[in-house]
Each structure stands twice: as structure tokens, then as C-alpha cells.
Amino acid sequence: MNKQMVDKMGYDRSITMFSPDGRLLQVEYAKKTVKQGSTAIGLACKDGVVIVADKRVTSKLLVAEAIEKMFKVDDHIVATAAGIISDARVLVDRVQLKSQQHAVTYDSKIDILSIVKDICDLKQVCTQSAGLRPFGVSMLVGGVEEDGMIKLFLTEPYGLYFQYQAAVIGEGDSSIEPELQKKFKPTMSVDEGVKFGLGLLKGFLKSEFSFERVDTVVIRVGDKRYTKLTNDKMKALMK
């Protein structure tokens, strides 16, 4: 094995070592893991947040309702993920605790940005510490603040975050992103957003689409409460 190949393997395997062209290869591999994850779409509508996610039910023997794809961080905050969902569960457990501690200490609901920053702080630590690997997951975090502000954030595997009006993660992002760019309007209502998001997911999954493999959660400005839609409700809104 020549020296060049040995050096390349070193950059490839170590999270703490930059390659000669300024890349952290393990971080790039984590991003590729996200691209292989099941699709999730987030929409910040005029009266609330909509999150639509594919649970990717791979077997008829699986109990679809038992597949975790949506996470209730607090009554007013929802999160979903694409990539290694077990990684996401660790992050969600962490911010659920943070949210509970905030409520007990300050007698108020935590703001969404604090949740996002906490997730991203831990993700970033795992890009510069030997013996660790990056979290192989991107997350959409959305909700309604106490003052009625509607917010949707996307967190990257390496700890960067962005606020969006509409975003998609997972295997369907390259197909769905152009449709979001063309057709999404911030003036959509939550019900219109649900229909739009389900339509995008149906267009991507085609014959594999079914309401049993999709989770939809909305949080409306009116009640600021995490609400998971039933299959019947989704079907009614799709008409």
C-alpha cells in the first residue's frame, strides 16, 4: 500500500483531521447518510406549522403506528428527522429534558431557537472530538412561540442550522425542493399546507404512497398544541 493511499485513509477515518482540500470527510459521509433517510417536509404556514414525514414501512408485518418519525419536544414544538433515527432520538431526549427544566425553572415555555441551538451545539462537538463520530441525522424543528411567531428550522449533521419557510430533508429532497421553490406560499393555511405537503410526498413516492406510512403533525397559532392527524383527517384534507 503506497503512502498516498495510507494518507487518504487517515483523512477518511479521522473526524478531527482536515483533508488537504479543506474537507472533513466523515462529516460529508454523515450528510450522505441523511440523503438515504426517509423524506420529511416542513412548512411554516400563516397560522401554524405543518410537518409531513414518510415512515418508510418496509414490511407488511411491521406495525406502522410503532415507527417513530415525529417527536414531541414540548406542546408547542415538533421535530422530525432523516438519517439515523436512533441518533435523532438521543438528541430529542436531550432537548425534551431541557424543555422540562426550563418550564420548572421559569414557569414558561422554552423558545424554539434555544432547542435548535442545543441540538446543534452537541452535533458540532462531535465534529472536532477524537473518538466520536458525527450525528448521522438532519432534523426539522418547528413550532409556535408564546407570542404567536411561527418558526421552522433545519439542523445539519455538523451543527449548522437555518430558519426556513419551507424545507425538505431525506431521500426526496432533490425531487421535492424544486416544487417547494415554485409552489409554496407563506399565505397558505395549515389545512392547505397539509394538502400541499401530502401531495408532494405522494408525487415522490408514487405507487408506494399510503396514509399508513405517513405521519402528519400540525401546531396551530390558536392553541399552540402538538396535534397528530389521523389517517381519516389526512384523507379528508387531500380531497
Would 43 be classed as within a structural domain? Answer: yes
Write down the pTM of the prediction. 0.92
The answer to whether 76 and 226 are in contact (CB under 8 A) is: yes
The Cα–Cα gap between 149 and 78 comes to 15
Residue 18 domain-assigned (yes or no): no
H helices of 16-128, in order, are: 25-35, 85-106, 112-125
Q: How far apart are CA 219 and CA 154, in angstroms?
A: 17
Measured CA to CA in angstroms, residue 209 lies from 62, 112, 125, 168, 204 at distances of 16, 31, 38, 17, 8
> What would the pLDDT profile of 186-222 be if each residue is shown by its tens digit?
999 999 999 999 999 999 999 999 999 999 999 999 9
Spatial CB neighbours of 191, under 8 Å, sequence gap ≥ 6 = 237
Domain count, the chain: 1
CA distances from 76 to 98, 172, 197 (A): 14, 27, 20
Measured from the Cβ of residue 11, the count of other Cβ atoms closer than 10 Å reads: 16
pLDDT at site 6:
45
What pLDDT, in 10s, does the model give residues 54-70? 999 888 888 888 888 99
Give the CATH number for residue 181. Answer: 3.60.20.10
Q: Is residue 136 part of a domain?
A: yes
- Write out the H or E segment, with its range, that includes residue 48: strand 48-54
Ranges of residues in the chain with a pLDDT under 50 are 1-2, 5-6
Residue 177 lies in a domain: yes
- Phi then psi dihedrals of residue 135, to 5 deg: -65, 125
* β-pair type (40-45, 166-169): antiparallel
Say which amino acid occupies 204.
Answer: F
Let me know if residue 3 belongs to a domain: no
Is 129 part of any domain?
A: yes
Q: For residue 190, which of 158, 155, 211, 216 has the smallest C-alpha distance?
A: 216
Query: Residue 225 belongs to what domain range?
Result: 37-58+66-238
